Structure 1
């Protein structure tokens, strides 16, 4: 396994939307509302990639983190940023590099493939995983 870079992204990014998720059922609302929010700011391919990445990161946070999970869509300049937070500050995100297909754990690999940049950071109460995309 390998780790994501530890970095705080885009400090001047402005929040566009925020979702608080408590259950896996909340992911459907996230996907639908996120698609609508991004469609006005980016093209179809970017909308699809952001939606997939947000879903993967939020699913990981719900499965492996501590509630609640908070997903934010932000913008800084020509970048759209997805930031997913949970309250498990001790759980460093790890990328499964040698896991067989079908065994799960490919969300962070997919995120690294679809996003321009990916990283993570912790605050006093939350752990954040972020991904940025050109808009």
Structure 2
């Protein structure tokens, strides 16, 4: 995962959530699905967005330092997900050489689903981001 800020412009805001535990993620997923269903989003692309957002937020909660803030914005071609946690000096690390049954493949999933992504430190916090296309692959 590259160290860089996103270069995409946002056109709107779908939501901002502040999370302290993974137990809050089902409610966030449901709210995000409701917002997407109210619009004209391709159902498959919307499903990818929800899964990617869940993975990034889950990683921030499990491997970063809560509280975690997740922001989902619209772009001209899809969505931008940004997840900020308190582990500003710790870069996101993809699991390499690990048995998939042991987990740790979230960043691999994000890379496969997202169009672009990266991370950057800012004032003692870390933001991991990814973009998702609004049309299903």
Q: What is the root-mean-square deviation of aligned Cα atoms in Å? A: 1.4
Normalised TM-score (structure 2): 0.89
Mark the CA change 1:20 to 1:41 in structure 2 (over 3 Å): closer, same or farther.
farther
* SS in structure 2 at match of 1:85: strand
Alignment of 1:1-135 (within 5 A): 4-10=1-7, 12-13=9-10, 14-39=12-37, 40-135=39-134
In 2, the alpha carbon distance for the partners of 1:38 and 1:131 equals: 17
Q: 5+ residue gaps in structure 2?
A: none
Runs of 4+ that moved beyond 4 A = none
* SS in structure 2 at match of 1:99: coil
Q: 5+ residue gaps in structure 1?
A: none
Normalised TM-score (structure 1): 0.90
- Greater mean alpha carbon deviation, residues 32-41 or residues 15-24: 32-41
Mark the CA change 1:91 to 1:26 in structure 2 (over 3 Å): closer, same or farther.
same
